[in-house]
Structure 1
Amino acid sequence: MSIGASIFVAVKPIIKICLSVSAGIFFSKKNVLDIHTSKKVSSMLINYFFPCIIFSKVVVAFDSGTMRTVGFCVLAAIIYMGSGTIFAIILRIFAPVPKFWRGGSAVASIFSNSGDIPMAYVMTITASKPFKDGDETQGIAYVSVIMSVYVAFMFAGGCVQLIENDFKNPPQQDLENTVGEKQKAGSKAKKFKSVLNIKRSKKGSTLSTGTSEMDAEKSPKPADYDDSEFGATRLAVGLANPVLARTSALIPMATSNTIDSHNSLRPIESAGVRSIRQRLNARREDDAQTVDLNDDEDDDGDALDPVVSAVTAEINIEKHNVVLARFIIFLRNLYQPPTASLIVSIVVAVIDPVKALFVQTDYDMPSAPDGQPPLDFVMDFAEFIGNACVPFGLLLLGGMIGRLSIKSLPKGFWKYLVALILLKLVVTPIIAIAFTQGFRKSGIIDDDNLVLAFVFIMSSGVPSSTSQVYLTTFFAPEDMEHIPQMDCLAACLISQYIVLVLTLAILVTYTLQIIL
C-alpha cells in the first residue's frame, strides 16, 4: 500500500469519529443531549447495546484453540496501565500538578478511552487492505477484552478512590470556591441501592453489603441522619460514559466511627458519602415544597443504572484480611451486564457443541429449517442491537465534551498538559509498537494476525478515560459552586482530543505502512 493510500485509510475513520462527536456537541449545546438524557442513554448503552456487541463478536472470534489471544489482550492492557502509572509518578515529581488534583491526574495518566475510538477504527479500517473478512469481528472482540481489564482495575482495584481523595481535606484555595449553604438539587436525587460496606470495629473488620435491623438499633445516629433514606453509608455509582466507562462498576467506601468532643458517635464521611447525604437532604427539601413522590413507584429509571446491587451478605473478617474486601468487590463486578456478557461469551466460544448452536463450525450440529444453526436468530439479534453501540457511544462522548468548560487553571498548568499529551499520545504508542513487534518476531503473535497487532497499537494512542468526568462530578461535594478539579480534567481532555486528530492519523498511517 502506498503512503498516500495509507494516509487516506487512516484519515477516513477520523472523519467519521469527528462527525459523530460533533453531532453530540451540537445536541449538548442545544440542550437536547443534556446530563439527564445522557444518563438514560448511557444506561441503555451499558446494559443493552454493549453486552450485545460483546456476545456477537466474542463468540465468533474465539474458540478453544485461540484463547491465548485473550491473554495477550490482558497483557497489553496491563502494560499500558503500568506505563501510565510510571508516567503519573514522573508527572507528580517534575510537572506542576496541583495538590487538589493529584489523584485525578494519576487516573488521567493511567486509564484511557479504550472503547469507542478503537471500535470505530476497527469497524471502518478492517474493510480495506491488508485486512480480510472476519477481522472486524475479531478486532472488536479484542477491544472488548482490553476495555474490560481497564474497568476491572479502575473499580475493583480501587483506583477510583484516587479521585475521591482529591475532595478530602481540600487546600485553602479550594475553600474559597465553596458556598455557605447547600445548593438545592434541580431534580430528584438518586435512590441509592445498597452495596458493599466496610466497617471498622475493635474486634476487627466487618465486610457487609447490607445493614441488619439489629445493627441499626444498636448504632446511635445524629438527629439529621435519616436511616430510611441513606442506610449505613452505602454507595452505588451509575456511570454514564460508555468508554471506560461501558463497564461501569461498584465503588466501595470505607467508613469508621469515632467519638467527638460531645461524646456521641457520628460517622466519618468521605467526600462521596457527604455528597450523597447533601443530595438526599436537598431532595427532601424540594419534595416538601412540591409534591409527595413515592420512590418505590417512581425511581426515575434508577433500576436500569449500570450499577446495581444484586447480592447482599455480611461477612466477618479479621483486620489483616481486608484484602478480602477487594476480592468481594471484584466478584460483584461480575454481575454487571458487560462483564457477565464477556464471561458467558467466552464460555460459549470455547465449548464446541455450545458454540455450534449459535454459529457455523466444524462440529456436527443439526441445522434449523433455514439451514442455519439452531440459535442463529440469537446471534442475528445480538449483532443487530450491538451495531448501535459505537454510534451512540461517540454521540455521548461528544455530548460530554460539549458540556465541559474551563473557568480557571493553576499557574503553569500548561506544562502538565503538554507533558501528559506527549506521554499518552506519543510515548505510549511507541511502547506499544515496540512490544507488539517483539511479540511478532518471537512468534508469540502470529504474523498473519494483523488485526490483533493493529488493536494493540491502536488502543495505546487514545486520550484519557472520559468516565473520569462523571466520577469527579459525583465525588464533588454538593456545596461546591466551582470545582477546580473539573477545570483541570476538562483542560486535559479537550487538549488531548484536539491533538488526537493529528497523532492518531500519524500512528495509523505508520502502522499500516511499516508494521503491517
Structure 2
Amino acid sequence: MGVPLPEVIYSAVKPIIRMYLIILTGFVMTKLGFVSVSTTRAISDLVLLLFMPSLIFDKIVSYISISDIKTIGVICLSAFMMYCCNAGVTAAIVTLTPVPKKKNESWIGGAMLAGIMQNVSDLPISYLQAMTTFSDDEINKGTAYVIIWLTMYIVVQFNCGMFQLVELDFRRKRDAEEKSQSRELPTIREDKAPERDTDVDHDRLSPKSSLSGSSLSSIDSAPASENLNPHALLSTTNSHNSHSTRYPVSRIPSARPHHDYALSQCNSHASSTRSAASSHRSSVLTQPHVQELIREYSRHEPYNRDIPTNMKIITETNLSSKDIENSAKAPWVRRYKLHYLIFFVKNLKKPNSIVLIFSLIIALIPWLKALFVQTTVYMPNAPDHQPPLSFILQYAQYCAMPCVPLGIFLIGSLLGRLQINDIPKGFWKCVVCHTVYRLCILPIIGILWVDRMKKANWLTDPMAMFVTCLEFSLPSATIQVYLTASNMDPEDENPLQINCLSLYLIVQYTSLVVTMPIVVCYTLKNVVHI
C-alpha cells in the first residue's frame, strides 16, 4: 500500500518551508546590514575551498559504488540533454521577446546563460535532507547523485567556457563606444587641438576604476593607525567609493589640488569629517545596494585586476575570456588553437574537481573503498572495529555539515542585495516566458524523460529518478550575479545587466515556492510510486 496523498503533500511542502526560512534569514540579515559583501564573498570562498569538497568526499565514497556506473552515465546523459533543450528554448525566447539587443544596451549573452544553467546543488540537497518519505541512506544516496549533477554543471559552465556568454554584452558595448569615439576623434583633433594634451593628462589621472578625489580625502581623514594598515586602507577606500559616482576625478581639473584641499579641510575639521565618514559607513551597512556587490567583484577595481589565475579558477567569479587566451603561451598551443583544451585541464585544479576525481577512484575500487567504509571486501579493522581510514571520512562528514545551510543562506543574502532600478520596456514578457518554461514546462520534459529511461531499464534506482526530476525543476543559477558584477563598471549608475538578471532571479525564486512542491508530489506518486 502506498503512502497516503496528504502525507505526500506534507512531505513535499515541509522541505520548501525550511529552505525558504533559511533564505529569508539571509535576506533579512542582509537588509539590516549585518552581512556585508566582503563577508558573503569570504563565506562563498570557504564553501568552495573546504565545505563542498568535504561533502563530495563524504557522499561519493560512502554511497557510490561500482554498481552505480550505469546510473552515473544516465545522469550525465540527462544533464547534457537538459542543457541542449535549455539552449534551444532560450534562444527562441531571446529572439522572439523584447530582450535588450542594442549594442550599447545588450543582455543577449546574459539571458542565454540564465536560461541554460540552473542551481544544481544547494537547493536539491537542502530539499532532500528535509524529506521524511525516504530513509537516511536513501537521502545520502540522492545527495551523491546531486553531486554528479553538480559535476556536469561545473564542466559545462566553467571547463567548457560557458561563462563567456556574460562577457558578450559588455564586449558589444565596448565595441559600440570605441566606434563612436573613433568617429568623434577627427573633430576633436581639428577643433580642440590645443586642449587635447590637457584632456589626456586628465584621463590618466582619473581612470574609471581608480580612486576618486573624494575617496582620497577619506583616506586622509582616517586615523593614523588605519593608514598604516594596507587592509584598513583598502576597506576604507572601498566603503567610501560610492562618492566617486557623484564626484569622479574626471570632473575635477586636477586630482592633486583636490587632494590638498581635502587634506586642509581634514586638518581643520577632523572630528566632523570622522563623524561624516562614520555616518556614511552606517548608511552603507543599513542600506545594502547592488553597487556594493559590483565594487567587490568588478575587474575594473584595482584590487580585482591582478587576481592569480589559479585563484580565479577556484573562486570561479572573476574568470574571463582572457584567462582562456592566457591559459598557455607555448607557440604550439597558439598555432593549433588549443587554448580551450589547456583551460579545460587547468580547471580540474578546482578543489571540487580534485576531490571528486579521487573520491570516484576510491568509490569504484572495492579494495580502496573498504579502507573507509564497511564493504563486502575483507579489510582488517582498526582497534575501534572501524575501517582503518574511517577517521578521514569522519573528518569530511564533520566539515561538510555547514555546506548546505551556508549555501542557502548565501542565496537569501544575494537576493536581499539585488535591486531593480530600471527595466526595459516589454522585458517582462521575456521573464514570464522563461519562468513558465523553466519551472512549469521543463519539469514536464524531465518527468517524461525519466519515464522513458525507466521503461528502457536505464534508470532503476528510485532515488536517481527522483533527483533527475528534481533537477529539471530548479531556477537559474545565482552565481551568474557574481559573473555579471565582475564585468561591470562600478561607476555605472544604471547597470542594465544586473537589473535584468535581478528580475529574472526574483521572479523565479518567488514562483519556486509553488512549483517545486507540485513537481515533487507528482514525482513521488507517479514516477517513484511510493
1:436 aligns with 450
Q: Is the CA contact (8 Å cut-off) linking 1:11 and 1:505 kept in structure 2? A: yes
Q: Is the CA contact (8 Å cut-off) linking 1:58 and 1:137 kept in structure 2? A: no
Q: Is the CA contact (8 Å cut-off) linking 1:181 and 1:479 kept in structure 2? A: no
Quote the offset at 1:113 in angstroms.
0.5
1:140 aligns with 143
Q: Distance between the aligned counterparts of 2:7 and 2:108, measured in 1?
A: 43
1:379 aligns with 2:393: yes
1:512 aligns with 2:524: yes
Quote the offset at 1:155 in angstroms.
1.5
Structural RMSD (CA): 3.0
Q: Is the CA contact (8 Å cut-off) linking 1:425 and 1:462 kept in structure 2? A: yes
Aligned match for 1:487, one of 499, 512, 523: 499
Q: Supply the AA of the counterpart residue of 1:465.
A: A
Q: Is the CA contact (8 Å cut-off) linking 1:43 and 1:304 kept in structure 2? A: no
5+ residue gaps, structure 2: 179-202, 216-232, 236-294, 320-325
Aligned match for 2:94, one of 71, 92, 111: 92
Q: Distance between the aligned counterparts of 1:15 and 1:427, measured in 2?
A: 23
Q: Distance between the aligned counterparts of 2:365 and 2:476, measured in 1?
A: 37
TM-score of the two chains, using structure 2 as the length reference = 0.72
Q: Is the CA contact (8 Å cut-off) linking 1:424 and 1:463 kept in structure 2? A: yes
Give the strand-richer structure, 1 or 2.
Answer: 1
Q: Supply the AA of the counterpart residue of 1:388.
A: P
- 3-state SS of the aligned residue for 2:331? strand
Q: Distance between the aligned counterparts of 2:298 and 2:174, measured in 1?
A: 18
1:157 aligns with 160
5+ residue gaps, structure 1: 190-271, 284-294
Q: Is the CA contact (8 Å cut-off) linking 2:59 and 2:141 kept in structure 1? A: yes
Residue 333 to residue 374, structure 1, CA distance change in 2 (3 Å): same
1:113-512 to 2 correspondences below 5 Å: 113-125=119-131, 127-128=132-133, 131-170=134-173, 182=208, 184=210, 188=234, 276=299, 278-280=300-302, 306=315, 314-317=329-332, 321-322=336-337, 324-446=338-460, 449-512=461-524
- 3-state SS of the aligned residue for 1:366? coil
Q: Distance between the aligned counterparts of 1:107 and 1:395, measured in 2?
A: 23
Residue 313 to residue 105, structure 1, CA distance change in 2 (3 Å): closer
Residues 112-132 of structure 1 show CA distances to partners (whole Å, capped at 9, x for unaligned) of 00111101111122x42xx34
Give the helix-richer structure, 1 or 2.
Answer: 2
Q: Distance between the aligned counterparts of 1:497 and 1:282, measured in 2?
A: 30
Q: Supply the AA of the counterpart residue of 2:330.
A: I
2:273 aligns with none
Q: Highest CA radius of gyration, 1 or 2?
A: 2
Quote the offset at 1:188 in angstroms.
3.7
Identity %: 32
Q: Distance between the aligned counterparts of 1:458 and 1:40, measured in 2?
A: 29
1:16 aligns with 2:18: yes
Quote the offset at 1:133 in angstroms.
4.4
Quote the offset at 1:509 in angstroms.
0.9
Q: Distance between the aligned counterparts of 2:495 and 2:357, measured in 1?
A: 38
Aligned residues: 408
Residue 376 to residue 469, structure 1, CA distance change in 2 (3 Å): same
1:45 aligns with 47
Q: Is the CA contact (8 Å cut-off) linking 2:128 and 2:139 kept in structure 1? A: yes
Quote the offset at 1:23 in angstroms.
0.6
